[in-house]
Structure 1
Amino acid sequence: MGLNKIILVVLFFCFGVVTSAQTARIKGVILDKNNQPATNVNVSCQSVGTRSNVNGFYILTVPANQKVVVVFSHVSLKKATVAVNLKSDEDYEFNLVMNDKDEQMGEVVVTVNNKKRVQGITTIEPATIRKIPGANAGVENILKSMPGFNSNNELSTQYAVRGGNYDENLVYVNEIEVYRPFLIRSGQQEGLSFTNTDLVQNIDFSAGGFQAKYGDKLSSVLDITYRTPTQFGAVAEASFLGASVAVDAVSKNGKWSEVSGIRYRNNSLLVNSQETQSNYTPTFADFQTNVNFKPSDKLEFSFLGNISSNDYKYQPLTRQTNFGTIDDPMALLIYYEGQEKDKYTTVFGAVKTTYTPSKNSTYKLIASAYHTQEQEYYDILAQYRLGEVDANLGSENFGDVKFTRAIGGQLNHARNDLDALIVNAELKGIHNWKKNQFEWGAKFTRESIRDRVIEWEVIDSAGFSINPPKILLKNDQPYAPYTGPLVPYQNVRATNFVDINRFSGYVQWSRKGYIGDNEIWMNAGVRSQNWTVSGDGITSSTQFTFSPRAQFSIKPNWNKDMFFRLSGGLYHQPPSYRELRDADGVVQPEVKAQQSIHIVLSNDYSFKMWERPFKMVSEIYYKALTDVNPYTLDNVRIRYAAANNAKAYAQGFDFRLNGEFVPGTESWFSFGYLKTEENRDGKGYISRPTDQRLKFALLFQDYMPKIPSIKLYLNLVYNTGLPGGSPSYSDPYLYQNRLNDYRRADVGFSKVLIDEQNPSTKRWLQPFKELAIGLEIFNLFDNQNAITNTWVRDVYSKNQYAIPNYMTTRVFNVKVNMRF
């Protein structure tokens, strides 16, 4: 599909020319009498049909707003039929067990039951996540193409949502909260995201205004469900960046099932494309398993386990960064000595019990433990030259530094160790009564942190040691001897033994009803938390929060499938350990929870274009934040002031258009506008570190019409620049310059060699059910995107220069995907 058509479609919707959707979808899993997946079952309705795949799964588009009959037939099984009446764009799940003796007939009358649409939750297909290219492929890679989500670091899985920071996002796997390592400061140290996309069944995301059942964070919720397999299977992937293997297993009686995966990643291909030449030998690996046991229809047990090891070794050698203008080109040359050795080892385990005594009541008991041991050791000496570049095209020394304007050095040292143990126990209940649903939960969390911080930095310029700005002693060198103290430019030393006990709970009510002929959904709830901070040398502090939240949704009785939602409430974020530790490494137990009054107004419109389904979602939001804990952002490291001395706001608009621009594939276009500012100590409003004003993103999938086995995937992101890059110890009210805009395009090409849906492709390579080989090009247009600035002094002009720290350049990757 051409670019002109895409632009035409966007303009078409901007002027409000729309078409009503008149179809719905029925989908599910078909099993035989032995509870095994029934393959190649014909599923038809009127003149449209499909077949179930090897897992028994099917999906069929049917006419909406009328009673239709869906027929299930198979050569060795008796026919089954079901009559349904679905609303426009409704997704209805119908699972069927077919037998070889009696025909089955039934009728289902369905009203709109799309709970995720009501709650303002975006669902992402796992298959899309596995296909879309990205330097750090996975769930977070896809989220970066969504409106309201921002990240300027392709090596990182961390993201900011609607003006929040990396610590303000909730992540759940199978309803179990997961955690990140504490000490990571650079995206290239991260390695692997917690989520293994080879194990994923369902991914839901909310960018704000979420319900009380979700935890105490200010920005977003990522809710991931790992699949429960129905038969044995295996998938594998290998590329220049690493490899992964996942296996599904099921017992003969179907009561036990397990899905496990192991991953290995090496970012050398990406890091070696940066300007800093280095010896880089990282090892990122993890193993995950999800085991399920269902002894009866009323009782189910599951275990989620993860072991992860990130062994990061980095030895920088040299770097040259060219900057300046055509008339005044300059360069920064750096020669390094020393190395960095970091290690992050995490172990996570959780047990979940689900008991369903009746169809109207469900109880869940969840217990989990997370243990991380982290070390960050480095001694790196950087000796630099700042000079003018020879710009004479005819010169033999073209591009070299011909005149040095400044020299200096910088020595960084760290011996940081952290040991953290976090345990949780939670009881939850769900009860249905008539048209009402009640949900409640109670949770206890204990966090034990053992932390040692030793960091210092010494800066030398033209042979003179530079004191930090907070030491304002007279220095007339070289005209007069300097007699003041020689101190590090930065110096942090602290040892903290901290325990945090948290008691939290929630209760919420949901109901569906009508106002006239218009369908409405209502949700109201409240959650609270009580926490106590204690430890060696710490005065114990106990605090309490109370957070009411509500949602109201309405679907007018119009010909158009239009949906409106208003949600919000008072959200709190009780401080984590990182939020309690100030810039000097000292724990401040009296830090209060940051709080936000959050309001979201959204419109969800489903329609058809070119006889294919599309959806347009737009949202306006506003956050008023108080008791704000200010922070600085350096790469992916956050350092808090550990003081509630600011207030802030975030406001914006998000828009997303998704659908089948190409038949059979989902693509989308996103746009977001954000403005977020804070007022520290009453000095006035300035931009927050995450104030990224404009965001455009395009995720596009295509294939060659005459050769559908050749596929194209494009992931394009444009973000305006973030504030940042100011010198250390600088006053943010004096330095409000921004980084350059972030522009990145990743493209992937794939050739399917074997497809189980097309038996003719399986004449060779018999062991495989599917086999594909692909080429990925990261940063297609080779844009220079900066994550921070390095500040260098020129002793002659008395100026400081902001030298951009660029991210990865264009990189090629080859990968192979297999399914057995």
Structure 2
Amino acid sequence: MKCSKLITLLVFFGFTLYISAQTATLTGIVLNHSNDPLKEVNITTGSTGTFSDNDGFYSLQVPADKPISVTFSHLGHKNVILENLILNTNEVFEFNPVLSTDAIQIAGVTITPTGNKTVTGITTVSPEIVRNIPGANAGVENILKLLPGVSSSNELSTQYNVRGGNYDENLVYVNEIEVYRPFLVRSAQQEGMSFVNSDMVQNVRFSSGGFQAKYGDKLSSVLDISYKKPSKTSVQLDLSFLGASATVETISKNKKLSTISGIRYRDNGLLVNSQETNTNFNPTFADAQTFTTYRFSKKFHLDFLGNISINDYQNEPLNRQTNFGTITEPKSLVVYYQGEENNKYNTVLGALKGNYFLNENTTLKLIASLYHTTEEEYSDVIAQYVLGSVDNDLSSDSFGSATNLRGIGTQLNRARNELDALIFNLSHKGNHTIKNKVLEWGVKYTHEDIRDQLRESEFIDSVGFFVRPPLPEFNNNQPEEPFESPLVAYDGVNAKNFVKTDRFSGFVQFSNRLNIASHDVYYNLGIRAQHWSVSGENIKTTSQTVISPRGQVSLKPNWKRDMLFRLSGGLYHQPPFYRELRDQTGTINPDVKAQESIHLVLGNEYSFNLWERPFTLMSELYYKKLNHVNTYTLEDVRIRYVANNNAQAYAYGADFRLNGAFVPGTESWVSIGFLKTEENSNNRGYTARPSDQRLKFGILYQDYIPEFPNFKMYLNLVYNTGVPGGSPNYTDPYIYNSRLRDYKRADLGISYIFVDGNRTYQKNHWLHRFKELSAGFEIFNLFNNQNSITNTWVRDVDSKQQFAVPNFMTSRVLNLRLRMRF
């Protein structure tokens, strides 16, 4: 790749290439109205075509980067016509049509490099992008962080904020089964892996606000994942310095049983060891997942989703030196550690989903899932620190070392936390379709049984005296008055909670498509309700009910310009989960109300051709008014709630994303987001929330060398302005509310494609056995930016001044990667 091209990219994607005669692949299984495979279906586009085999499977090479029309025809069935299909070069797009006695023409839906244009405000992301784009935590969440309105300033974490919300405000579904995260994780390097296995993903749908009633009760977003239902047998391996994964797809000869299973192992040592703290880091992050479908008959299919995850985090910190301050007055913090952290998060999920196709218009579903997690957080770490200056004499042998040491202090952190959580879900969903009208409904019962024991403390011995909490009962008026206060932890929690929650929820929604004065109109109206009760040992039983009406309307005018307008909103509630009931002392408050948010989202999609290639500009303006807000503090990824509903808040902003084929045969995008969110606690006035990230800028870019098109480049760049969170413990945010530094990061991946769908070899060649084979390298934090997620506060013994010492995250790291599929 030419250097000038990369430089131009960093300014703004101005440089593009034109390559003709590129192709893509359209594949899938043709079904009849009973969902049985249909053989000998004629599939044509232009002058080319093919037929489905005895199993209904077909594969057709089609022109890329321009609109085409594909027709599926079969004797005794009406045609299915797929119009305005635009695919990337080398893209493999799966489409499974159903041929029935009614004529079907799929019109008004343009499939472009941006995904399916949808009137519901759901963003779709290509699974290939999810699997290929580099990142310290590559996968679905890595791509979400490049979308406008979605932010995270911690590359070791898979968690994300959406439009001013926090990590707990996001719904995640895999094949309509809700999935959960561990509870006790407090730092990103303890997390391990996301639940979602990107090698098993078929579809990714994401909504950042104003979502439909069917999606559940959270305040911020929905991530809706669909795992594959294999059409053939294959094995895939992904190996790198960060771990390994293996995925197996199988299907029986009679096509009734299909299974996709994955095993993953991850070692974050390469990333953690790039930080300033030297450690003996020895974690084990591993999981196994399977998604199985058995087709008992034409009308009844049964799905099973299973997951076992083992996260054994062992860390023995040794020492650290952080240089900070200014050029004229550089300072250094040197820390020596003793002790270790030993945390375990073991989770199991099992779910069954029955699909009953009553007829071609009605589908009924019954879903049952059981999630169990046992978590332990055992740690004893003593940190002895000294604060000093930095030798900035370039001729000195000790250049960069700490000198004039002062401010000696000791900190002891101890934790003995244990949690056992059991969550059972049983739900029924259904939908009935008549022409353009769709009625959907659902009911759900959830039982949560949480057993939690918190025992943690932090002791500080600084500058020659023991530091007690800065609370009124520990005021020191010496020498005027004797100070006889007992020695207590600067920050400590000791609590035992047994909490049970029973939830009943349901929804109903109606969707319709109309044509008014030659303009296409879509609307969706729905309502949700939830009733829950909280009980437990030494806890009074309380019950509450909320009702949430929601709606969306979209207009596609009959204009020459391809535009779509959307307006969505409604009332959204988030009934408290266990962690939201627990205050900062570990005490349960069963009277915590559901947080409430009014969403209003106005969106536009404008599709156009630029440089004879398809592009889409997506814009959204949003406003959220929040009541009964449960305020919280955030340290790294640990959220601690106040549990009192004593605040109001708001969030508003604008999101823009331009994506398309900046380079022929690829998908890239530029996203920009502006956000402002503030809260008013106890009527003290509005102040910035912990998630108040004002500006977000993200780039995802794909490219290749024209002379050697099998050399691929993937680049993502993120710039986020700093969020509040740099203040010391016990700080009143109305008096002192500092922001962390801006987050800037670039990850680069370069790979060579030996084998893929468009490049195969003869039987006598050693590469013939591979269906896919690629090798390459990734550079994380390409420009070696120093990003920080928290501050360590230390006191100068001379001036008694406190200094904020940034805790820097990972530096530049090189990773090698090998992918293959048989």
TM-score normalized by the length of structure 2: 0.91
Q: Decide whether the 8 Å contact of 2:65 with 2:665 is kept in 1.
A: no
Kindly state the Cα deviation for residue 514 of structure 1 after the two structures are TM-superposed: 1.9
1:700 aligns with 2:696: no
1:675 aligns with 2:681: no
Kindly state the Cα deviation for residue 475 of structure 1 after the two structures are TM-superposed: 3.9
Is the partner of 2:396 in helix, strand or coil? Answer: coil
- CA–CA distance in structure 1, aligned partners of residues 259 and 85 of structure 2: 37
Q: Decide whether the 8 Å contact of 1:89 with 1:606 is kept in 2.
A: no
Superposition pairs of residues 185-334 of structure 1, within 5 angstroms:
185-334=186-335
1:337-396: CA deviation from partner (whole Å, max 9, x where unpaired):
000000000000000001111111110000000000000000000000001112222223
Superposition pairs of residues 374-385 of structure 1, within 5 angstroms:
374-385=375-386
Q: Decide whether the 8 Å contact of 1:49 with 1:60 is kept in 2.
A: no
> 1:587 is matched with which residue?
588
Kindly state the Cα deviation for residue 527 of structure 1 after the two structures are TM-superposed: 0.1
**Pair 1:710–1:35, CA change in 2 (3 A):** farther
Q: Decide whether the 8 Å contact of 1:665 with 1:701 is kept in 2.
A: yes
Q: Decide whether the 8 Å contact of 1:753 with 1:761 is kept in 2.
A: no
**Pair 1:531–1:392, CA change in 2 (3 A):** same
Kindly state the Cα deviation for residue 513 of structure 1 after the two structures are TM-superposed: 0.5
> 1:157 is matched with which residue?
158
> 2:45 is matched with which residue?
45
- CA–CA distance in structure 2, aligned partners of residues 94 and 393 of structure 1: 64
Q: Among residues 99, 105, 110, which one is paired with 1:109 in the alignment? A: 105
- CA–CA distance in structure 2, aligned partners of residues 25 and 504 of structure 1: 44
**Pair 1:538–1:613, CA change in 2 (3 A):** same
Q: Decide whether the 8 Å contact of 1:83 with 1:106 is kept in 2.
A: no
Kindly state the Cα deviation for residue 46 of structure 1 after the two structures are TM-superposed: 3.3
**Pair 1:365–1:652, CA change in 2 (3 A):** same
**Pair 1:209–1:126, CA change in 2 (3 A):** same
Kindly state the Cα deviation for residue 3 of structure 1 after the two structures are TM-superposed: 6.1
Is the partner of 2:171 in helix, strand or coil? Answer: strand
Please list every run of 5 or more consecutive structure 1 residues that lacks an aligned counterpart in the other structure: 13-23, 99-103
**Pair 1:750–1:52, CA change in 2 (3 A):** farther
- CA–CA distance in structure 2, aligned partners of residues 306 and 266 of structure 1: 19
Q: Which amino acid aligns with 2:158?
A: T
> 2:750 is matched with which residue?
749
- CA–CA distance in structure 1, aligned partners of residues 400 and 39 of structure 2: 67
> 1:621 is matched with which residue?
622
Kindly state the Cα deviation for residue 252 of structure 1 after the two structures are TM-superposed: 1.1
- CA–CA distance in structure 2, aligned partners of residues 397 and 69 of structure 1: 71
- CA–CA distance in structure 1, aligned partners of residues 80 and 374 of structure 2: 57
> 1:781 is matched with which residue?
783
Q: Which amino acid aligns with 2:523?
A: M
Q: Decide whether the 8 Å contact of 1:69 with 1:81 is kept in 2.
A: no
- CA–CA distance in structure 2, aligned partners of residues 204 and 401 of structure 1: 51
> 2:796 is matched with which residue?
794
Q: Which amino acid aligns with 2:748?
A: V
What do you get for the CA RMSD once the two structures are aligned?
A: 3.2
- CA–CA distance in structure 2, aligned partners of residues 10 and 192 of structure 1: 33
Moved more, 294-303 or 306-315: 294-303
> 2:410 is matched with which residue?
409
Superposition pairs of residues 723-738 of structure 1, within 5 angstroms:
723-738=724-739
Q: Decide whether the 8 Å contact of 2:43 with 2:70 is kept in 1.
A: no
> 1:817 is matched with which residue?
819
Kindly state the Cα deviation for residue 435 of structure 1 after the two structures are TM-superposed: 3.4
1:657-692: CA deviation from partner (whole Å, max 9, x where unpaired):
111111111111100000000000001100000000
- CA–CA distance in structure 1, aligned partners of residues 25 and 517 of structure 2: 28
- CA–CA distance in structure 1, aligned partners of residues 66 and 613 of structure 2: 14
> 1:15 is matched with which residue?
none
- CA–CA distance in structure 2, aligned partners of residues 474 and 106 of structure 1: 81
> 2:113 is matched with which residue?
none
> 2:371 is matched with which residue?
370
- CA–CA distance in structure 2, aligned partners of residues 616 and 49 of structure 1: 33
Q: Decide whether the 8 Å contact of 1:50 with 1:59 is kept in 2.
A: no
- CA–CA distance in structure 2, aligned partners of residues 346 and 69 of structure 1: 45
**Pair 1:656–1:49, CA change in 2 (3 A):** farther
Kindly state the Cα deviation for residue 399 of structure 1 after the two structures are TM-superposed: 1.7
Q: Decide whether the 8 Å contact of 2:80 with 2:106 is kept in 1.
A: no
Is the partner of 2:131 in helix, strand or coil? Answer: helix
Kindly state the Cα deviation for residue 434 of structure 1 after the two structures are TM-superposed: 4.5
Kindly state the Cα deviation for residue 767 of structure 1 after the two structures are TM-superposed: 3.0
- CA–CA distance in structure 2, aligned partners of residues 116 and 496 of structure 1: 47
Superposition pairs of residues 443-462 of structure 1, within 5 angstroms:
443-462=444-463
> 1:16 is matched with which residue?
none
**Pair 1:246–1:757, CA change in 2 (3 A):** same
- CA–CA distance in structure 2, aligned partners of residues 808 and 8 of structure 1: 25
- CA–CA distance in structure 1, aligned partners of residues 12 and 46 of structure 2: 30
- CA–CA distance in structure 1, aligned partners of residues 634 and 756 of structure 2: 46
> 2:19 is matched with which residue?
none
- CA–CA distance in structure 2, aligned partners of residues 583 and 224 of structure 1: 34
- CA–CA distance in structure 2, aligned partners of residues 52 and 323 of structure 1: 66
Q: Decide whether the 8 Å contact of 1:493 with 1:585 is kept in 2.
A: yes
> 2:341 is matched with which residue?
340
1:494 aligns with 2:490: no
**Pair 1:640–1:83, CA change in 2 (3 A):** closer
- CA–CA distance in structure 2, aligned partners of residues 476 and 107 of structure 1: 87
Kindly state the Cα deviation for residue 463 of structure 1 after the two structures are TM-superposed: 2.3
1:15-56: CA deviation from partner (whole Å, max 9, x where unpaired):
xxxxxxxxx9994425799999999x9976336889999974
**Pair 1:436–1:553, CA change in 2 (3 A):** same
**Pair 1:158–1:244, CA change in 2 (3 A):** same
Is the partner of 2:804 in helix, strand or coil? Answer: strand
> 1:426 is matched with which residue?
427
Is the partner of 2:108 in helix, strand or coil? Answer: coil
**Pair 1:128–1:654, CA change in 2 (3 A):** same
- CA–CA distance in structure 2, aligned partners of residues 813 and 580 of structure 1: 42
Count of residues paired in the alignment: 797
**Pair 1:49–1:692, CA change in 2 (3 A):** farther
1:143 aligns with 2:127: no
1:416-448: CA deviation from partner (whole Å, max 9, x where unpaired):
000000000001110123532111100000000
1:602-639: CA deviation from partner (whole Å, max 9, x where unpaired):
00111111221111100000000000000000000000
Q: Which amino acid aligns with 1:801?
A: F
> 2:83 is matched with which residue?
86
Q: Decide whether the 8 Å contact of 1:29 with 1:37 is kept in 2.
A: no
TM-score normalized by the length of structure 1: 0.92
Superposition pairs of residues 475-554 of structure 1, within 5 angstroms:
475=476, 482-554=483-555
Kindly state the Cα deviation for residue 137 of structure 1 after the two structures are TM-superposed: 0.6
- CA–CA distance in structure 2, aligned partners of residues 404 and 803 of structure 1: 15
- CA–CA distance in structure 2, aligned partners of residues 152 and 51 of structure 1: 50
Is the partner of 2:215 in helix, strand or coil? Answer: coil
> 2:578 is matched with which residue?
577
Kindly state the Cα deviation for residue 116 of structure 1 after the two structures are TM-superposed: 6.1
- CA–CA distance in structure 1, aligned partners of residues 7 and 44 of structure 2: 36
Q: Decide whether the 8 Å contact of 1:26 with 1:94 is kept in 2.
A: no
Q: Decide whether the 8 Å contact of 1:627 with 1:645 is kept in 2.
A: yes
Q: Decide whether the 8 Å contact of 2:581 with 2:589 is kept in 1.
A: yes
Q: Which amino acid aligns with 2:107?
A: T
> 2:562 is matched with which residue?
561
Q: Decide whether the 8 Å contact of 2:132 with 2:714 is kept in 1.
A: yes
Kindly state the Cα deviation for residue 795 of structure 1 after the two structures are TM-superposed: 2.5
> 1:658 is matched with which residue?
659
Q: Decide whether the 8 Å contact of 1:30 with 1:38 is kept in 2.
A: no
> 2:397 is matched with which residue?
396
**Pair 1:590–1:70, CA change in 2 (3 A):** closer
Is the partner of 1:128 in helix, strand or coil? Answer: helix
> 2:28 is matched with which residue?
29
- CA–CA distance in structure 2, aligned partners of residues 520 and 90 of structure 1: 26
Moved more, 794-803 or 375-384: 794-803
**Pair 1:467–1:180, CA change in 2 (3 A):** same
Is the partner of 1:731 in helix, strand or coil? Answer: coil
